[in-house]
Amino acid sequence: MLLRLPRTSTILLLATVFLSCTLILLVTGTYIRLHGERLTDSWTVTQTTSAEVAKDDLRNDGSIKLENATLVMLVRNSEVTYARSSIRSVEDRFNRHYHYPWLFLNDKPFSSSFIRLTQNLVSGNATYARIPRTHWSIPAWVDRPKARAKMRDMANRNILYGGSSSYRHMCRFFSGFLAKQPEIQKYEYYWRVEPNTQLYCDVDYDPFKKLRLENKVYGFVISMKEIADTIETLWPTVQNFTREHPDYVHANNSLDFIVDDDLGVQAGTYNLCHYWTNFEIAKLEIWNSIQYRDYFNYLDQTGKFFYERWGDAPVHSIAASLFLDRDQIHWFYDIGYFHNPFTHCPEPASVYHDTGKCYCDPRNNFDRNPSSCSEQYQRMRDKASGK
């Protein structure tokens, strides 16, 4: 049976509904904008304040002060589902409050489908760029038949990615060419985000700002040991380079992180430790410095990104350990992170889990794994503080 209201009651009811909807839109407008709704054709998102953003991150007018930084992802069109998962995680845990831009890089043109399925997830501007062919190809000085033979040999020995040429291009790209991309050069900082990764904790501050205020230039979450068979001659090559450029090694370096025997660069043995670079928050000036450019070019001329399988993780980590002041490196311990198959899950539970900040299982924390280099990193920090 239909309930018929008097005309006056109907008008009052409609007015109440209208006012309620208006209030809901005003209250939830922040939510909609924070979650990446398309606001303009140019994808310029109006920044919105949030009670979860620290007060010192706000301007007087309530807008959020951003660093000159971007989130960057190297991704294939076929990885769009994994890319969307990572974007959603970073936006929900961090970027919905800040709206930092995203830069997507690919060695092939991005498909219209990839762009459509990702641009509605980001809360800041999105840029899609193709990597120049010269940054994703085998250089002229590499003996291609020799490289193919080396790849077959490593594949036959079941070395991870031993037979993959695309993996080698990726490692060489991140080692030497990320900072050369025209689309990234206008920024001071970047946060590398990999497809199919997850943030397990709320990031309730601006990591870029933290680096700037604390004079840090490189940040990581997981450290581990490299597969020795992939970098058989990397350390001797580094030793040769530092012999030619002893002045490049910083007086307050973090050699203790990568060498256990206290014998220095020339006599010491590399312990295989590196920062896992699929999560990396850093200042681009590191990779644009004369020290690093000379270092990368020296390594690249050997051809061993292809003859062996030198990874960007040990290449970056050795450089950071030698050329940077140890106090410029930061462990983002409070950021829970997963990249298959490893998890960084901060402890103790009373601080990170009972409060609802994180939802990972501390029992899966890779820091407990014998292959973790957390102990070496802490040892280096302890020596720096005189402990």
Tokens 């299982």 sit at which residue? Answer: 361
37 is catalytic: no
Question: How many residues are given for the chain?
Answer: 387
Q: Where does residue 80 fall: left (phi above 0), alpha (psi -120 to 50 degrees), or beta otherwise? A: alpha
Cβ neighbours of residue 35 closer than 8 Å, sequence gap 6 or more: 91, 96, 123
* Distinct helix (H) and strand (E) counts, the chain: 15, 12
Peptide bond between residue 139 and the one before it cis (omega within 30 degrees of 0): no
Interatomic CA distance for residues 309 and 303, integer angstroms: 10
Question: Taking every pair of C-alpha atoms in the chain, what is the biggest distance, in angstroms?
Answer: 94
Q: Of these residues, 188, 280, 308, 347, which one is catalytic?
A: 280
Exposed, middle or buried, 11 (CB in 10 Å: 0-12/13-18/19+)? exposed
Half-sphere exposure of 346 (CA within 13 A, CB side): 22
User: Facing residues of 218 across strands?
Assistant: 282, 329
List the one residue out of 225, 195, 183, 216 whose CA is nearest residue 73: 195
Give percent helix, percent strand, percent coil of the chain, each to the nearest 5.
45, 15, 40
| Contact criterion met (CB below 8 Å) for 104 and 118 | yes
Active site residues: 280
